[in-house]
Amino acid sequence: MIGYLILPHPQDPGLTERVSGVDHEGQYVDTNVTVERPLTLYLNGQEIVTMMTIGDYPDCLAVGFLLNQNMLQQDDIISSIDYDAEIDTVVVRTERETDYEQKLKKKTRTSGCAVGTVFGDVMEKFEEITLDPAAELRTSWLYALSKKINMTPSLYLEAGAIHGCVLCEQDAPLVYMEDVGRHNAVDKIAGYMFLNGIKPAGKMFYTTGRLTSEMVIKTVQMEIPILISRSGFTAWGVELARQANLTLIGRARGRRFLALAGDSRIKFDAKTDDVDDEPSSIQRKAASSKDVK
């Protein structure tokens, strides 16, 4: 797919399992289901958390999680990242000495599908961040992004039970990550950006999941000023977005969308009559399969 730096690999045999069952007509069928496995994260010599994940890009997930929990700083130097698939562990080592014993005692379980966790002083950094007021979102970009992302081959179309997040610039999707929890997909993108020197200037964030407080907090921490979702909002997510001056757009399907925060960044340059309705998931899967061939 033109424009992508990284995108899903739904045919990876390690991401799904074949399971037998019975359909609505009583017929025996085989279907793909998404795999989830534990991943225990260590920062230097300290165990931080065990996450449930599909298992791809453990280095990006580990680094992104630590960044979004304020356990890694943008100027930190990572000396090594070691992943051991046999014991499901990833160890991030930094030149800076770290000790987060007190921080780990204060944690909040979030509304993420795989039960996300937020530690300690995350909100302190959130309140200090100023998002770029000059950033813009053209509706022509939004419609083009939605079409490109929806037609991209994905684990969601292959097996379901998964969330996707995409880092975008103008009308180009750049980095597409999936996981069983949307918080993991966000963290993978944050980690990829850090490890590859990608700056947030001019970027937008697209997600298939709900616009919860956690999604807003992570997007603001990444200093990305625009967050778009196919799904809906939570009240606290909207409140935090307005507090941070984050452009928050939900229910983005076909020609329709709803902005509940930061609408001053939106430039209405597309005619909705020229925008097609969103295809069904069956049509999207068929179209994406043709693209692969």
Q: What mean pLDDT, rounded, does the chain reach?
A: 89
Question: Residue 115's pLDDT band (boundaries 50, 70, 90)?
Answer: very low
Alpha-carbon gap, residue 193 to 160, rounded angstroms: 26
Beta bridge partner(s), residue 93: 80
Residues 116, 226 share a domain:
no
Residues 261, 144 share a domain:
yes
Domain annotation covers residue 128: no
3-state DSSP assignment of residue 157 = helix
For residue 69, pLDDT over 70 is answered with yes
Residues 141, 106 share a domain:
no
Alpha-carbon gap, residue 231 to 31, rounded angstroms: 26
Question: Residue 156's pLDDT band (boundaries 50, 70, 90)?
Answer: confident
Alpha-carbon gap, residue 1 to 151, rounded angstroms: 10
> Tokens 């100027």 label which residue?
75
Residues 143, 262 share a domain:
yes
Residues 141, 101 share a domain:
no
Residues 142, 287 share a domain:
yes
Average pLDDT over residues 94-123: 65
CA dihedral 81, 83, 88, 94 (to 10 degrees): -10
Question: Residue 101's pLDDT band (boundaries 50, 70, 90)?
Answer: confident
Average pLDDT over residues 191-208: 96
Alpha-carbon gap, residue 23 to 10, rounded angstroms: 23
Tokens of 67: 């960044």
Question: Residue 103's pLDDT band (boundaries 50, 70, 90)?
Answer: confident
Question: Residue 291's pLDDT band (boundaries 50, 70, 90)?
Answer: low
Residues 48, 183 share a domain:
no
Q: How far is CA 98 from CA 49, 92, 102, 126, 284, in A?
A: 15, 11, 12, 21, 46
Angle between helices 235-244 and 213-221 (to 10 degrees): 20
* pLDDT (0 to 100) of residue 1: 46
Question: Residue 105's pLDDT band (boundaries 50, 70, 90)?
Answer: low
Q: Where in the sequence is the domain holding 144, given as residue range(s)?
A: 137-292
**Cβ(221)–Cβ(125) under 8 Å?**
yes
Tokens of 237: 């997510």
Angle between helices 58-68 and 182-196 (to 10 degrees): 100
Domain annotation covers residue 5: no
Which residues touch 206 (CB under 8 Å, ≥6 apart)?
145, 146, 149, 165, 166, 167, 168, 173, 228, 229
Alpha-carbon gap, residue 149 to 157, rounded angstroms: 12
Average pLDDT over residues 108-126: 57
Among 13-22, 76-85, 114-123, which stretch is predicted with the lowest mean pLDDT? Answer: 114-123
Last residue of a domain, one of 120, 145, 173: 120
Domain annotation covers residue 47: yes
Residues 251, 178 share a domain:
yes
Among 70-84, 189-203, 272-286, which stretch is predicted with the lowest mean pLDDT? Answer: 272-286
Domain with residue 82: its CATH number is 3.10.20.10
Last residue of a domain, one of 92, 120, 148: 120
Alpha-carbon gap, residue 111 to 284, rounded angstroms: 28
* pLDDT (0 to 100) of residue 109: 46
Residues 183, 275 share a domain:
yes
Alpha-carbon gap, residue 121 to 207, rounded angstroms: 25
* pLDDT (0 to 100) of residue 159: 83
Among 117-121, 200-204, 259-263, which stretch is predicted with the lowest mean pLDDT? Answer: 117-121
Average pLDDT over residues 148-172: 91
Domain annotation covers residue 8: no
Average pLDDT over residues 28-38: 94
Alpha-carbon gap, residue 262 to 241, rounded angstroms: 8
Residues 107, 145 share a domain:
no
Phi first, then psi: what are they for 20, rounded to 5°? Answer: -95, 150
